[in-house]
Structures are given as C-alpha cells and as structure tokens.
Amino acid sequence: MAIVEQGDGESLSPPLAIKLSKVPWTQILAISIFWLALNFHWAALGIIILPSQVFKIVGDLNKGEALAFVLVPGAFVSLFANPLFGLLSDRTRGRLASWGRRRPYIFFGTLINIGGLIWMAASRDTVSLAAAYILVQFSSNAATAPFHALLPDIVPAEQRGLASGVMGLLAIAGSIGGVIVAGLFIDASKPLPTYVQGLWLTYGIIIAVLLALMLITIFSVKERNSLSAQSAAQEEDQSPTAPSIAEPAAPVRRSWLSRFVVLTIAWTLLAAAAAWGLIALWNVLHVAHIQISGDVLQIVLETIATIGILRLFDFNPRRDPDFAWVLLTRLVMMLGIYTVQDFLQYYMRDAVKVAHPEQQTTNFIIILSLTSLFSALGAGWLSDRFGRKRMVYISGGFMAFVGLIFIVTQSLPLVLAAGAIFGIGYGAYTSVDWALVADVLPSRKNFARDMGIWNISLSLPQVIAPVFGGFVIDDFTHAGNPVLGFQLLFAMSIAYCLIGTVTVRFIRGVKQ
C-alpha cells in the first residue's frame, strides 16, 4: 500500500471513495439556521450597537479611534481563535466526541458568548467594552469554526451551490433582523436612562435568538454520517497493527510543542520586535520628517502575527495555491465591505447629516438586504451551473459602483438607492463565498481547521478597516472636513472590491 505524505505531517492511504448521500433541503436549512443567529448577532453589534455605544461614551470628536480601540483587539483574538478551535474540533476524540466533533464547541461557545454579551451591555467605558468584546469574539469563534465545518462535512459537492445559497439567504435574513431590532431600540439622541433600557432590551433579544437557533442546529445534525467521521473510521479499519517491510511506519504526528511550532513562534516574535524597533528608530530620527503613527504600527504588528498564525496552522500557499487565492480574494472583498460597514453610521451622521443616524443606517441595511435576498439564492444556484468566478466578478463590480456613488453624493435618497445596488452585489458574493472555499479545501480530515484558516480572511479586515478608517475620519473631522475623509474611505473600498475581482481569476480548481 502506498503512503501519501500530507503537508501537515500526517500519513494517509490514498483517498478512500466516500460518497455522501444527498441531504434534504429541510435538513440543510435546519443545520444552517445557526448562521442566521450569528449574522443577527454580528450585524446588530457591528453596524448599530457598538458605533452607537462608543459615541454615547466618548462623544463626537474621537469616536473613530475609540471605535477602533474597541473593535481591533477582539478582531485580533478571532485571528487565532477560529483556526485553533477548528483544529481542536477536527482532533476531538474520546467521550466528548460521542456527541460529535462539532456540536460541543457550538454549544459551549455560544453559552460563553452569551455571558460576554451581558458584560457588553453592562459596560460604561471603552476599556470594559473592549474587554467584553474580546470575550465575545473568542467564544463566538469557538462556536463558528466547527459550525462552518458542518456543511462541507455533510453536504455532497453537487449540493454545495444550493447550500451556499441557503447560507447566503440566512446571512442576509439575520442581518436584516439584527439591524431592525437594534435600530428600533437604540438611539443615541435619547436620555441616558432611556438609552440604557433600549440597549439591554436589544442585547436580550440577541441572546434569545442565539440560544434558540443554536439548539435547533445541534439537534438537527447527524455527525455519524459525516465525511470526516467516515474517513476516520475507514482509516482505523485499514491501518495495520504493525508496519511491514514494504510499508514503512507512519511518521509521528506533530506535537503541540514541536521544533516547528517553537521556531515559528520565535521567528514571529523576532519579526514583530524588529518591525517595532525599526519604526521606533524611524520616528526618533525623523526620517523625511514623517512620523509613523501608532495605528500603522499596530497594523504592521498584527499582520506579522497573522502570518505566524497561518504558518502554525499549516497554511502553505505553494502546496495549496487555490486555497491561498480564495483567502486573498475574500480578504480584499471583506476589506471593501468593512471599510463601508464599520463607519456607515458615522457617515450618516457627519456626511449625510441625518437627525437619527441609527435609524437611517437601519433603513440602508434593510434596503440592501432585501435586494440581497433576490440575488443570493439565485447566484448560488447559478454558480453550480455557470461557475463561481462569474458571481464574484458581478458582485465586485456592483459594490465598487456603490462606493463611487458615495463619493459623488451625500443625498439621503441616492444613498438609500445605492444600498439597493450594493445589495445585489453583496447577495451574489455571500451566496458563492462558502461554495468557493468548499471546492478547494486542502484536507478532508481537517475541515474545521481549514475553515478556521479561511475565516482569518474575515477577521483580518476587521483589524485593518477600523484602524485606517478611524484615523482618517477623526483626522478630517478635526480639520473641519469630515466629508472628504469619508470620500477617501470609499475610494479605498472601490479599490479593494476591484482587486477581489482580479485575484479570483487565479483560482484554477474552481469553475469559471
């Protein structure tokens, strides 16, 4: 029997023929329903609650950097939490695995997430809010990484476009629900006691939605028939009790503190220290009379840390080029989205100059989401027949066009109409996003780990976008020209979306 050496140091026999049976659409819906809850949770927090909460705490002039102070540490935690819990899920054995490899993490991660949300609701300063947000990010990612592995583990390849369309629909429905609920009860113009009452009510609704839909998902999953469970069972059946002369012993699995792990951590720390030292020296010597801000230093250090985390979890672009291009495509597309999303409420306040920015932001998201509903399921179905890449080309073009509208006008009716156009592109992208990565996952034994690595391309933009955006907005606000700051942000968003339509062309293992 030939031994096939894998990049993560594992030895496997040649791929075993395992065919997943078709899954009824009702079960796909039941399994995926937790995705609605997660999007309800994050849309309410990211678009309405946190910008409003930060504004209520610090006031107008420093709201951009204060929002980055709250968002960035939590987003950085998600960089390693997602692949870490994905890896733990893939390697779960023993008594805990009797309940499944994914479900225990979804259950306990959600319960801890609920505790973090209660802490966020009680926070009255940015330090406490940032600490609570770190806990929410850590626990939510503990549930999300194993959850993302469920569908490629259970759904056969010929149904992945449909499943991705369902995921896209549920993501949009969750976003609509989250912003509607948060927009109804949160208004920073109200007196503090009334505002706090609405804040607690909103957090309570988020908790109820998370808990209810999480229970539906974990009781709908049948993990015994999953691809990873069948692969593990067959490999155990076929593995010899002792190596033969023709069949050498399999190499020992890499330990948690192997030489590779220690060296990767050491080189990452050395690179971060070198970058910090060089930037500090640059500022001391006043090279070219340009000072590198702490925000830029933060992005540099977190990017170095991200590269180290990717190496620790066996990300290898040379070995898995398609997977690497999918990550890069999603990274730049999400940069385009978060550059707009994180500061949309402040754009409504400072550029469009509406009286109630929370409510108008809610209206924008509702319009966006309604048009997304029409494009999401259709694009997922079309991607199975005509290719994933075409959907990304279309979505990137639509979203870039909306950034151009935001640059040339600050009229509320035109901005809301632009939301409808953005929704068409956003729905098309979210509908094929999951199917795109499911087609190129490097290892069937490590679905959750690889999906966790994939989610770094969602987490890193949440680190970069607030830091750059917060600095730009506050700088131009202090200069008395906030509109120009937002125009610069939207120009960056256009560039990101267009880059995403280029990088997707290099994914060779996916249909056109």
For 44-56, what is the mean pLDDT? Answer: 92
Q: Where are the domains of the chain?
A: 23-228+321-441+444-506, 255-320
Q: Give per-residue pLDDT as tens, 7-26.
A: 344 433 444 556 666 777 77
Q: Give per-residue pLDDT as tens, 86-100.
A: 888 877 776 666 677
Report the topology of domain 23-228+321-441+444-506: Growth Hormone; Chain: A; (1.20.1250)
**Nearest in space to 173 (alpha carbons), one of 403, 314, 331, 374:** 374
pLDDT above 70 for 253? no
**Nearest in space to 314 (alpha carbons), one of 264, 259, 249:** 264
For 470-487, what is the mean pLDDT? Answer: 87
pTM over 0.75: no
CA distance 281 to 39: 43
The predicted pLDDT at position 52 comes to 92
Q: Give per-residue pLDDT as tens, 448-464.
A: 788 778 888 888 888 88
For 165-183, what is the mean pLDDT? Answer: 85
Helix axes 160-185, 25-43, angle to 10 degrees: 30
pLDDT-based confidence at 292, cuts 50/70/90? confident
For 96, other C-beta atoms within 10 Å of its C-beta total 13
CA distance 82 to 281: 35
The predicted pLDDT at position 4 comes to 31
pLDDT above 90 for 63? no
Cite the DSSP H helix spans in 290-356: 294-312, 321-341, 344-350
Helix %, strand %, coil % for the chain, to 5?
Answer: 80, 0, 20
